[in-house]
C-alpha cells in the first residue's frame, strides 16, 4: 500500500510538472498570437521569453519552433 502511494505521488508530481509546462507554453503562444512570425521574429520572441519570463531555452525553442543553434546564433 505504501509503495502504491509513493507511485501515485510520483505520478502526481510528473503530471503537475507537465501541466505547468503546457500552461506556460499556452500563455507564451497567446501572447505572440496574431503577430507575423518570421524565423527572426520567432527567435526574438524566444529570447524575450527567456529573458523576461525565466523560461528555459529548450522550452522557448519548442514553443516558438526555434532550434537552440538559431537561438544562440550571433552575427559577428
pLDDT of residue 36: 62
More confident residue, 6 or 66: 6
Asked if residue 59 lies in contact with residue 23, where contact means CB atoms within 8 angstroms, the answer is no
Give the predicted TM-score (pTM) of the model.
Answer: 0.57
Per-residue pLDDT at 75 exceeds 90: no
Domain spans, the chain: 2-72
How many degrees, rounded to 5, is the angle at CA 53 between CA 28 and CA 13?
80
User: How confident is the model over 5-54, as pLDDT tens digits?
Assistant: 999 999 999 999 989 888 877 777 777 665 666 777 888 888 888 888 88
Dist CA 29 CA 27 (whole Å): 5
Amino acid at each position: 500500500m505504501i509503495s502504491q502511494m509513493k507511485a501515485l505521488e510520483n505520478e502526481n508530481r510528473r503530471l503537475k510538472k507537465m501541466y505547468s509546462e503546457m500552461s506556460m507554453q499556452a500563455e507564451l503562444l497567446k501572447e505572440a498570437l496574431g503577430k507575423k512570425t518570421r524565423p527572426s521574429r520567432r527567435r526574438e520572441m524566444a529570447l524575450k521569453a527567456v529573458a523576461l519570463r525565466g523560461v528555459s531555452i529548450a522550452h522557448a525553442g519548442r514553443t516558438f519552433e526555434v532550434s537552440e543553434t538559431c537561438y544562440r546564433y550571433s552575427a559577428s
